[in-house]
Structure 1
């Protein structure tokens, strides 16, 4: 009989690429991860891993086993959801990942509704950049998350995860006067730091308009970005939730772009009472203009 915990480690290795990354994500030592994977190889009787320098790659047998592991873990999520459904009342922690503008605009109303209708349910909110959500969900650090994607930066499918669309919001060019992207090929720009999804979106949008932007400021807070734009420090791309209270001296020009937000959870967890209840509360908390 294959050990589910070892299958989970193999699945994580397939996604993360190194034993060190798996160990860090799941709070194991690298030697413990290696030992458990060696035991899994003994259980299967076939070679699952091949080492190439410091990285570990999966053999074809290992890749096939990961596909089965995804199915097994999804069935376990279904089983846990069914067991939770027969318990009386919702109680205990449920961990919700979110990004800052959604945390400010949507999460408070959802938490208020959950506290009123399910006082024993302990909702916990964690700020997580969308690029880290998949790993946090698979590692069990989150039960549910809000993630966003842009037209110019579509999300890649994530094995073992599923979800549903929540809302779509328009994007704006923030400048001191009404203008278009093409008007700012030589202007200074304000963008998020490298590695953030918002930075990738802004760079691709500018490149699609035919220029590479000059980035003067790197700021990952929309309120601060808008304040800097109003002071003439540059221009920026802002989603609707980040532009709800613009300062004076600012123009927001709507662009033919959008940002989509959806809920994401582990495959098989959609019917878990806590996940379903939180998802419903989040949907009810979406501002009316985005419905």
Structure 2
């Protein structure tokens, strides 16, 4: 049974004629008759009978029309509920981020949302003519966020949208594009991966480095399937010799600490590794970044989401806040 068929049966009971139903629903009388006939084929009890020139409901038709009215009412309530859910800017938004993105973006995002919440409270208080602390209701109009760290290989990021509203993901320029039939993509940054060396390392004296400059040095790098590992493969191909990877570490704080010893060099993202470098500076000062020439080292940092999640006002507000935070971080 289709909802519109039940609605036509209900209106026939209320209005008493096919023509009146057609006029009310802005369809043709033949369309009404056809849909009621289709509905009749699905039950073995007559739903209508002739009363002079009019078609009226039988007792069975009235029972089904009443039941249909309950279905129509339930569907209207469901639509209203999902509408309220989608328009609620104070809902909870779940976010996953790979390690460097989480270090760089999670705390600034929380601070930005706190400022929005405070501003909402002040505006509410001003509108009500009361003290700012009385604006608690308006503070609820800012989303709550729930973070998780998911450091996966590039091709596994889209699948995370099944568990999170927003997924911070990265891929190299030469990597396959995200599957746009499954997820929607909000670009955040186009970030270079730079060579990280100790400040007193011989390579630190150069303003930029080539694959030939760096290929002979021992490395700390990520595991296979992650952005830095892809770049090392390209370095070896351009320099025509394999790269010696001593340590396989995905955490940039640990990698920066090892680089600061001068025993190895590494690759660190220019913008999102700043928390790792700042943290390391207190314990292991003297890690510097140098751009690599001759190879594309840029990775794309994007927000991935299922299309239906982007219909929620709370998710879109958080996505915009993340874009603002990234703009501040990169200066772009």
Please state which band the TM-score falls in when normalised by the shorter chain.
Answer: 0.5 to 0.7
The verdict on how the C-alpha distance between 1:290 and 1:99 changes in structure 2, with shifts beyond 3 A counting, is farther
Matched, 1:269 2:309: yes
- 1:70 is aligned to none
1:160 to 161, 179, 182: 182
Secondary structure at the counterpart of residue 213 of structure 1? coil
TM-score normalized by structure 1? 0.63
Q: Please tell me the root mean square deviation across aligned C-alpha atoms, in Å.
A: 2.8
2:184 corresponds to 1:136: no
Conserved in 2, the CA contact under 8 Å of 1:189 and 1:235?
A: yes
SS of aligned partner of 1:270: helix
Corresponding residue pairs, total = 211
Contact (CA 8 Å) 1:97, 1:133: kept in 2 or not?
A: no
| 1:106-121 superposed matches below 5 A | 106-118=105-117, 119-120=139-140, 121=143
1:16-27 matches, cutoff 5 A: none
Match of 1:190 among 217, 220, 224: 220
Aligned residues of 2:87 and 2:312 also touching (Cα < 8 A): no
- 2:273 is matched with which residue? 242
User: What do residues 124-163 of structure 1 show as CA deviations (whole Å, max 9, x unaligned)?
Assistant: 11111253331121x3x10101111223435442531012
Structure 1 window deviating more from structure 2 (237-246 vs 119-128): it is 237-246
Report the Cα offset of residue 85 of structure 1. Answer: 3.8
Q: Which residue pairs with 1:123 in the alignment?
A: 145
Q: 1:95 matched to which residue of 2?
A: 94
**CA-to-partner distance for each residue in 1:251-270, whole Å, 9 max, x for gaps?**
42112432221111002432
Answer yes or no: is the 8 Å Cα contact 2:193–2:228 preserved in 1: no
Of the two, which has the highest radius of gyration?
Answer: 2
Q: Within 2, Cα distance between the matches of 1:187 and 1:279?
A: 40
**Local SS of the residue matching 1:159:** coil
1:249 is displaced (CA, Å) by 4.1
Alignment of 1:289 with 2:313, yes or no, is: no
CA drift at 1:96: 0.3
CA 1:234–1:264 in structure 2 vs 1: closer, same or farther (change >3 Å)?
Answer: same
Shift of 1:290: 3.7
Please identify which structure carries the higher strand content: 1
Q: Cα–Cα, structure 1 residues 236 and 288, in superposed 2: closer, same or farther, change >3 Å?
A: closer
Q: Distance in 2 between matches of 1:161 and 1:234?
A: 39
Gaps of 5+ in 1: 2-77
Q: Please, what TM-score do these two structures have when normalized by structure 2?
A: 0.56
Structure in which a larger fraction of residues adopt helix: 2
**Structure 2 gaps, min length 5:** 2-78, 118-138
Matched, 1:253 2:290: yes
Residue 232 (structure 2) aligned to one of 170, 177, 202: 202
